[in-house]
Amino acid sequence: MSKKNKIQKVLSCKISEANFYSYHVDFDICEKDSVQQRIDDFVQIMCEEIPSFAFGFHRGENVPQDEILNTLVEAARSIYKITEYREVAEMYKKGESIDDKIDNKYLRRGEFGELFLHSILKYLFNTNPLIAKIHFKDSFGHAVHGFDSIHINTESMTLWLGESKIYTSGINGVDALAQDLFEHFNTDYFNSEFNIISKRITDSYEMLDSMGFDSEHWIELLNRYTSLSEQLNNIVIPMFCAYETSTLDSYELDFEKFSKDFEDEVYKLKKRFDEKSKEHPLINKLNIIVILMPLKSKKEIISKLHSKLTLIQALGG
């Protein structure tokens, strides 16, 4: 079964609109005929996606059969070369987790929001990762982009610049996304980041062109002489937030109540994001897609991901 089919079977899409989507990890009949979320299946898919997330098209796609294990081990190890992932793994190993109000916001990287966003964009929105942060950081020590994901859609020829959050509170999560919108989607930030992204594309242009990704198109789009209006017409901004909620608890007991409560909750959060973002000076020029993913337990998913990746690293000896 393809990775796309796997993720479509494990993630249930509850809202699908032009600029708003919401998913949750689906439920199934498990041990003793009880209904439980398919957390282990979701974690397995995320672990399988680690090479693509870490290496992108450089090494993470179309891995030869006899290299799959070695590539997976190396990808897991490359992630834990990054300080935030190591520190957060240790926190979860001790039974701790990251508070929504934590001072060191960079620690949030270790909670895999970027991985979730990467996977959803790639398999549910048909994008391809253009730049893999971890590859450039690990291989060349280059400066890397500040966006949580940089993907492209080769059908619409759009550049997808995404931000991700995993929070305990949905309110805190969408508020943080709105703050990112103001901090990361403005002329000064664009000028700085577009320059870095163009350099990373230039570093890889031969490989990009061999895969049919037309590196020159993206370099030209990001060029300083291309108007911001033209750039924004060709940029999609996915804003992803996974958050913890008790709404999922009613899935088995009362499905109709669950469905109503789920929709009420995510629409309220979407409205809050819109309210927080409406004063952005470019709001009418930004093509924003809000993606919300309620979780039963943030701590459970993140703990299982770190535990499984620790085991994967050990497979390499």
What digits encode the pLDDT tens for the residues 130-144?
888 776 554 444 445
The Cα–Cα gap between 98 and 109 comes to 11
Q: Is 62 left (phi over 0), alpha (psi -120 to 50) or beta?
A: left
Burial grade of 250 (CB within 10 A; 0-12, 13-18, 19 or more): middle
What digits encode the pLDDT tens for the residues 203-218?
888 888 888 889 999 9
Mean per-residue pLDDT over the chain, rounded: 89
Judge whether 154 and 215 are in contact, CB under 8 Å. no
The Cα–Cα gap between 293 and 124 comes to 13
pLDDT for 97 equals: 85
What digits encode the pLDDT tens for the residues 223-265?
999 999 999 999 999 999 999 999 998 888 788 999 999 999 9
